Amino acid sequence: MLVIRAQGVAKWVTSPQGRLDILQPVDLAIEAGERCAIVGPSGSGKTTLLALLAGLDLPSAGRLWLAGAELTALDEDARAALRRGHVGFVFQNFQLLGNLTALDNVALPLELRGERNARDRAREMLDRVGLAERAQHYPPTLSGGEQQRVALARAFVGQPQVLFADEPTGSLDAASAAGVLELMLDLNRERVTTLVVVTHDEALAARVDRRLTLSAGRLVE
C-alpha cells in the first residue's frame, strides 16, 4: 500500500532577478513500512523535499498524497490535522519546548488530539527510550542525546504511519548518534512505521531499504 506519492512535484521561488528552481519535478512512491533516506550534498533540495512530502510546505507544481489524502487539495488547517493524526517528526535541533518537562513534551501531541491517557502513554514511551528517571527534567538540563531520545518518544507516542526525520543525528557526538540511530530503527521496526529521513550520516543511510539521492534539485534515485 502506498503511503506517500509525489507526481511532478517541483518547488521554485521568484525574485526580481528571476525564478530560482529549488526542486526539479519529482515522481516518487513510498510503500507503507518502507525506510527511505534522502541523501545528497548541502543545497541539493533534501529538506525542501522532506517538507513537501510532510505537508509542511506546498509545491509550486505537481500533486502530493500522504496517508491516503491529497495534500495539495487541502488547506493549512486540514494539512495540520492530517499531520497530527498520521505523522511524527524528529529534527536535528530537537525542537522540544524548553518550558515543558520531558514528560509534558511527549504527552503534548496526544493532548492536542484530545486523548485522555496522554500522560500514561508518555510515561511508557519515556521508559521505552530509557529516560523514565528524567521525566520531570526540562530540556535545557538534558544532554543532546537525551533530548533527541525525548524527541523520538514524542514522535512515536502517537503511533504515526510516517516518521519524517531531518538530520536526526546531525548535532550529536559519535556515541550519542549511534545510540539514537539504533533506537530510532528499533522503534521503527516495532511499530512498522514508514521512515523518511534526510541525512548526511552514512551509518544511517546504509541501514535503510532505499536511498533517494538529490543532486542540484534533481532526484537521481
pLDDT band at 116 (very low <50, low <70, confident <90, very high): confident
- Confidence band for 186, pLDDT divided at 50, 70 and 90: very high
List pLDDT tens digits, range 33-66. 999 999 998 889 999 999 999 999 999 999 999 9
Burial 30-59 (b: 16+ CB within 10 A, else e): beebbbbbbbbeeebbbbbbbbbbbbbbbb
* Residue 81 confidence (pLDDT) above 80: yes
* Residue 126 predicted with pLDDT over 90: yes
By DSSP bridging, strand 162-166 and strand 18-31 are: unpaired
What the block records as the C-alpha cell of 210 is 532505499
Q: Are 183 and 169 in contact (CB under 8 A)?
A: no
Neighbours of 206 (CB within 10 A): 9
Q: Give 201's pLDDT tier (boundaries 50, 70, 90).
A: confident
For residue 221, pLDDT beyond 80:
no
Grid cell, residue 132, equals 523514565
- Please answer whether residues 102 and 129 qualify as being in contact, where contact means their C-beta atoms are separated by less than 8 angstroms: no
Mean pLDDT over 14-41 rounds to: 93
Q: How much is the pLDDT for 43?
A: 86
Helices 102-112 and 144-156 meet at what angle, rounded to 10? 20
Q: How large is the average pLDDT for residues 146-154? A: 98
Mean pLDDT of 6-32: 93
Domains of the chain and any CATH numbers: 2-219 (3.40.50.300)
Query: For 28, phi and psi rounded to 5 degrees?
Result: -155, 140
Mean pLDDT of 95-112: 96
Residue 71 to residue 6: CA distance in whole angstroms: 10
pLDDT for the residue 213: 94
CA 9/CA 109 separation, integer angstroms:
29
Tell me if residue 12 falls in helix, strand or coil: strand
Residue with cell 517528526: 89
pLDDT at position 136 is 98
Q: What's the confidence (pLDDT) of residue 173?
A: 93
Is residue 61 within 8 A of residue 106, CB to CB? The reply is: no
C-alpha closest to that of 196 among 160, 159, 165, 156: 165
Residue whose grid cell is 510515561: 123
pLDDT, average across residues 159-181: 94
The single-letter DSSP state of residue 22 is E
Whether 12 has a pLDDT exceeding 80, the answer reads: yes
Buried-exposed string 131-163: b where 16+ CB fall within 10 A, e elsewhere = beebbeebbeebebbbbbbbbbbbbbbbebbbb
Q: What is the pTM of this model?
A: 0.94
Banded model confidence at residue 196, pLDDT cuts 50, 70, 90: very high
